[in-house]
Amino acid sequence: MKGYAFTIDVTFGAVLALFLLVYSTSFMLTSYTSGIGDISVKRIAEDTITLLDYNGTLDSLDSGKIRSGIGHMLPPNLAMGVNITVYDNTFTPVQEVIIDYETERNRFAGRHCFMIFDGNRADGFAVADYWVSVG
């Protein structure tokens, strides 16, 4: 009887070890299928929109300048669309700027808020909704 219980115990341990080996191998194989990870795309998108804000390109609200800035910063395999809604000091939407709205929204989307200045005076604020697609 002792040999029978020992055999069942070893068999159970071997099956468990085999299951863990197959599970970990399948996890490793599926985690490296994408060329660009979601975290990388997210960081690239956030960095791009933050740099456009930092260098004043977003404040201009000029779709041509913003599109050019995005083109200079993004890698060629990424496309980015931006929808900027400008609000006055009473939180009323007063303007909307749309850049590459037809860009497919299949990868990452985010939101960036920034102030609009007229000289040294805050003239309102804006919200930039942006999305990035790989392709």
Write the DSSP symbol of residue 76. Answer: T
Mean pLDDT, range 14-39, rounded to an integer? 67
pLDDT of 123 > 90? The answer is no
Confidence of residue 89 (pLDDT cuts 50, 70, 90): confident
Pairwise pLDDT comparison (129 vs 39), residue with the higher score = 129
Same domain, 74 and 107: yes
Asked whether 86 and 96 are in contact (CB, 8 A), the reply is yes
Residues 72 and 100 in one domain: yes
- % of the chain exceeding 70 in pLDDT: 80
Residue 26 has pLDDT above 80, yes or no: no
Same domain, 54 and 101: yes
Supply the pLDDT for residue 13.
82
**Residue 99 confidence (pLDDT):** 87
Domain that holds residue 109: 38-134
Average pLDDT, the chain: 81
Whether 44 and 100 map to the same domain: the answer is: yes
